[in-house]
Structure 1
């Protein structure tokens, strides 16, 4: 079986989408629709920068989604590879879960762009700049990461945010707690801790104000539900019921992204092929989780043509 997967924050780069839009009217339609939905020229920011503005959470989140959905639309319209026919489930990393839901019809493109703009703004506003931090723990499995986080907390928030793959876990919380964790990595048999260049401590309890904002935003959105199962970040299991999807999206803001467990569950369920849309971040993680899986990362027209010729 084949899963389509969608990248999260960190996969943005100045120039993203430019070549695809130049080559395909279908891609350009997506970028134009997102610009109209947000009332800003996000596509120009994506293609021209400045990088500092593109990296802002409120811009990066809808930009990454737009790039992934533009890639999918070109694949479907010009390659005649239709997700409903060629995919058996979808998943997305953090904000990528919104991309996955949009791809499967649970939210339309305009709604998805506006939800992600709200999500980005709310996550940025939840914690004053400088009070939170995140760090990647390299050479850490989930047990070591949890033990380190517990030891470093000392009454503050220090939690596992992303369980990415068997060798990389991200922690999030108060800056002082994250700094203590980095200092203690060797004591827990972890190779290295690297402070991440992020503006807020995502996927930890400090994000509760953003979770409240997303609960309110999602309550106003109608959804017919996805036409393919979605593997949810916070449960690492299939979900298709609209009410449950919305509840899990709210929980996801403060909860752990269980990516390693999601891919492992998909592999155990018989998924042997994973197609990453609009990025090259998730593919390597998938290979570290399921080494025998077939993985494709689709960004360019050449990538699309190669996939069309194969599936």
Structure 2
């Protein structure tokens, strides 16, 4: 049994999508549709940079989605016939829903542009921070943020795998957490080069913006169930998906639990489209699972032959 999974922010790189678009008409059509939806040449930015502009949240989010969907469509795979579930990390949840037919491509691109702008605008630059706790599990991370908050926002943002948890919040609280993490046994605690504190209560203005954006869009039930970030459980109801996408902006990404629950449900093969970020996490969560990363045309050709 397979699950198709889709990466989140941080997986962008200059050159992404370029060879796909040159080689596959289906991939090129994806990038052209996204450009038209956004009224900008995102495909050129993806192919040529500059890197600092591509890394901007408002560009990185639709770019990562476009690249993953281009990869999937270049493969020409019938998702419902080849995958039992879909899942995505943070913004990757929108990609997963696009792949499963809940949102069309144009809608997905516009939602992610709105989401990126709203998340960036929610907190003034410099007021928030995020940090990765390495060699720490969820229980340790929760103890760290509880001790570090001291009346400010400090929360677990991403429970990525058994040895990597990301925290988020006000800058002072996250900086306190760096020292506390070492005292509580984390191997390393490092600030992340991000422009905003994602997946914590400081993102409430962005959650409100997404509530408005999602209220008016057409949605269809996904072709296969989505394992949702905030519940780590499968969901198919359109109304529930909408609510969870809003909650996701401020809520924890329960990736470790999602993968573990998919494995417990019988998934033995995880296929990551458009990146190589989630695969290593999956192997740390479900060591016996097969993981395939699909990024290049050679990867696509190998996958098509395999499945």
TM-score (ref. length: structure 2): 0.99
RMSD, aligned CA: 0.5
Question: For residues 23 and 239 of structure 1, what CA distance do their matches in structure 2 show?
Answer: 35
Question: For residues 166 and 130 of structure 1, what CA distance do their matches in structure 2 show?
Answer: 29
Who is 2:3 aligned against?
A: 3
Check if 1:179 corresponds to 2:175: yes
Question: For residues 74 and 186 of structure 1, what CA distance do their matches in structure 2 show?
Answer: 45
Question: For residues 192 and 85 of structure 1, what CA distance do their matches in structure 2 show?
Answer: 42
Work out whether residues 35 and 42 of structure 2, in 8 Å CA contact, stay in contact via their aligned partners in 1: yes
Superposition deviation, residue 82 in structure 1: 1.3
**Aligned pair partner of 2:281 in 285, 291, 305:** 285
The 4+ residue runs of structure 1 with deviation greater than 2 A are: none
Residues 57-76 of structure 1 mapped to structure 2, 5 A cutoff: 57-76=57-76
Question: For residues 219 and 110 of structure 1, what CA distance do their matches in structure 2 show?
Answer: 16
Work out whether residues 167 and 174 of structure 2, in 8 Å CA contact, stay in contact via their aligned partners in 1: yes
**Aligned pair partner of 2:214 in 215, 218, 234:** 218
Question: For residues 163 and 122 of structure 1, what CA distance do their matches in structure 2 show?
Answer: 23
Kindly provide the CA deviation profile for residues 16-42 of structure 1, in whole angstroms up to 9, marking residues without a partner as x.
Answer: 011111111111100000000000000
Kindly provide the CA deviation profile for residues 47-69 of structure 1, in whole angstroms up to 9, marking residues without a partner as x.
Answer: 11110100000000000000000
Who is 1:256 aligned against?
A: 252
SS state at 2:37 partner: helix
Work out whether residues 75 and 82 of structure 1, in 8 Å CA contact, stay in contact via their aligned partners in 2: no
Check if 1:48 corresponds to 2:58: no
Who is 2:296 aligned against?
A: 300
Question: For residues 183 and 193 of structure 1, what CA distance do their matches in structure 2 show?
Answer: 8
Who is 2:29 aligned against?
A: 29
- Gap regions ≥5 residues in structure 2: none
Who is 1:145 aligned against?
A: 141
Question: For residues 225 and 206 of structure 2, what CA distance do their matches in structure 1 show?
Answer: 26
- Gap regions ≥5 residues in structure 1: none
Superposition deviation, residue 186 in structure 1: 1.6
Instruction: Name the stretch that deviates more: 13-22 or 252-261.
Output: 13-22
Work out whether residues 89 and 228 of structure 1, in 8 Å CA contact, stay in contact via their aligned partners in 2: yes
**Aligned pair partner of 1:94 in 90, 94, 100:** 90
Work out whether residues 2 and 273 of structure 1, in 8 Å CA contact, stay in contact via their aligned partners in 2: yes
TM-score (ref. length: structure 1): 0.98
Kindly provide the CA deviation profile for residues 267-309 of structure 1, in whole angstroms up to 9, marking residues without a partner as x.
Answer: 0000010000000000000000000000000000000111111
Check if 1:239 corresponds to 2:235: yes
Question: For residues 35 and 216 of structure 1, what CA distance do their matches in structure 2 show?
Answer: 23
Question: For residues 186 and 80 of structure 2, what CA distance do their matches in structure 1 show?
Answer: 42
SS state at 1:309 partner: helix
Work out whether residues 158 and 173 of structure 1, in 8 Å CA contact, stay in contact via their aligned partners in 2: yes
Superposition deviation, residue 224 in structure 1: 1.5
Superposition deviation, residue 183 in structure 1: 1.7
Who is 1:207 aligned against?
A: 203
Superposition deviation, residue 225 in structure 1: 1.5
Work out whether residues 182 and 189 of structure 2, in 8 Å CA contact, stay in contact via their aligned partners in 1: no
Question: For residues 65 and 4 of structure 1, what CA distance do their matches in structure 2 show?
Answer: 14
Work out whether residues 137 and 164 of structure 2, in 8 Å CA contact, stay in contact via their aligned partners in 1: yes
